[in-house]
Structure 1
């Protein structure tokens, strides 16, 4: 389904581009036709050019309208909050959504995966129950979704996310009169959560990491080896040959996304086919069609996954939480899918053993892969409440 959406978006862009080129050609041809004294043909060309110009203006108007019309659905409760807000964080304009049945409840910031991913709509759909107990905040990080143009992709670093994550936290603390907030980090966001609680422990009650990333280089090597193993066992010679041609990770340069996607997508499909994993996949068609995203946002939904991931991910290869972040001043809990092979859980178990924190623990989800918050969302919510509100 994702490939279909990308194809349709590319077709739309090609139509717009073709219209512009055709318009230019028409006006270039008009003087030549005049030289032949064919006034009727000149008139037809003018009408065609005018029609194309109107079509282009309407297209631009429609794109602009969808951007301004983007919104998050209302919540029918007396003291609720449901809004999309553009902020300036360290001079970079970025978007967040804020949703909750009661705006006086604790604040929970969800850190999306990626880098370059937006899960603003996905979290609203999958974790709506949390909105009864928290003001749930989703942040489109620089280079993703609605914040794709917050910073030039080539200028984004890991520090960009840490600095802006802190600025966003300060905004939320001030706006909702809170001394601290809660964090949930998913995949890449789970590592970002560790970076934030390490540097700004005074701002956070606790962190939950799910699909937890530990050592980025080792993760990629293990994923590559697992994909090769599965492909060989399944007799998928085309995939084996493609993996062999790419060579093992880590990858650098302009093809990081595409080379990584070969084994990551294969492993995702492998997990989706596992009958022990419930509700196995993302509903990309539903998410991309959600009202939070205008047409440009929908395009940037995919641009972030490709371009931002390609630039930022290779900056993460030197990070290993087992050696770099062994002492934290904030409780940390790991929500792990028993069948997660994208972020090998053995690395999380090793990290949990060496981690020194006020409280820590692993919560296993027996019917989940890389995304327990989707695979077992009801139990995920129960465990979040247990860790955050009952401890």
Structure 2
């Protein structure tokens, strides 16, 4: 275990893997926010400092690299990957945090791919968490791509060059009925077209300067992010082929907040709105952040922090009632 002024790094045993865990403790009794990174395979632990800047006085922050990602991948290069195993790992992390921070409510915060794990866990084990927050919530990647592709088709019809229109036509039907490596190549090509015609992240952040600010950064972390993305490609395809949140129960037994960028073309707003309308929960809220893309915590950190702090205040109040 490595400890500095306000952060603790360690590897914990989880289901046959040595899992990297980063914790930034707050005052006793404060809620614990467990962050589930995206990808799959893309560790976001290097950005923990940014969340600490936004929320550090209001909660304990916990980040872990999922199997197949970051420093966990580095220690366990041959660990098997599946949603079931990852949910089992997540349960282990939550049990550890509950033991270390007794009396502190656990708030589960997922981003992108992390919302797949987070939503499934919240539906299966609502008694173990106080609240769920999904940022860039995945409902169905096929449905999201259908919405984004419709917007691109309209833009190309209005102002597309003949070459770009031909490129778009050559990849039809899109999205594919079955996602594989070819489908992912078309996904990348469609993303480039969307970016060219203004359907892009509104506030792109240079990755290297942002990561360099991290007090936990190691030279290999960027390599691990790239490696994790490649390692997790089969899992990503499997998720895109079979995962659809609308196939699960619409009855949530835990308060749920969805934070969505209005200009998110990865997890498009339209499927999220349809899903949100059909669920019931003790409390539910959909926040649509204007001029934000897939990472509203980067695009508008001030507004994002305000919404998270509201949830933390509620969780802290509820645990003392």
Structure 1 and Structure 2 fold alike (TM over 0.5): yes
Instruction: Work out whether 1:348 is the aligned partner of 2:272.
Output: yes
Where does residue 85 of structure 1 map in the other structure?
Answer: 10
Q: Which residues in structure 2 correspond to 1:120-269 (within 5 Å)?
A: 120-125=45-50, 128-149=53-74, 155-178=80-103, 180-247=105-172, 248-250=174-176, 251-267=178-194
Kindly tell me: are residues 286 and 383 of structure 1, through their superposed partners in 2, closer, same or farther at Cα, counting changes over 3 Å?
Answer: same
Q: Distance in 1 between matches of 2:44 and 2:184?
A: 19
Unaligned runs of 5+ in 2: 316-321
Matched residue SS, 2:259:
strand
Identify the structure with bigger relative contact order (alpha carbons < 8 Å, sequence gap 6+).
2
1:232 deviates by: 4.9
Would the aligned equivalents of 2:54 and 2:301 in 1 still touch at CA under 8 Å?
no
Taking the aligned partners of 1:88 and 1:386, their CA distance within structure 2 comes to: 33
Q: Over alpha carbons, which structure has the higher Rg? A: 1
1:170–1:224 distance in 2 versus 1, CA, 3 Å: same
- Residue 10 of structure 2: SS of its match in structure 1? strand
Mapped contact 2:19–2:66 kept (Cα < 8 A): yes
Q: Secondary structure at the match of 1:95?
A: strand
Counterparts of 1:236 and 1:82 in 2: how far apart (Å)?
A: 51
| 1:282 paired residue number | 205
Superposition pairs for residues 54-69 of structure 1, below 5 Å?
Answer: none
Shift of 1:287: 4.1
Q: Deviations over 1:72-109 (max 9, x none)?
A: 8x54xxxxx41212112111112121114435422101
Unaligned runs of 5+ in 1: 1-67, 76-80
Mapped partners of 1:243, 1:268: distance in 2: 13
Partners of 1:282 and 1:181 in 2: how far apart? 30
> What is the DSSP-based 3-state SS (H/G/I as helix, E as strand, rest coil) of the residue aligned with 2:294?
coil
Distance 1:116 1:244, change over 3 A: farther
Secondary structure, aligned partner of 2:24: strand
- Higher normalized helix content (fraction of residues): 1
Distance in 1 (CA, whole Å) between partners of 2:144 and 2:110 is: 17
Aligned length: 310
In 1, are the aligned partners of 2:41 and 2:228 still within 8 Å (CA)? yes
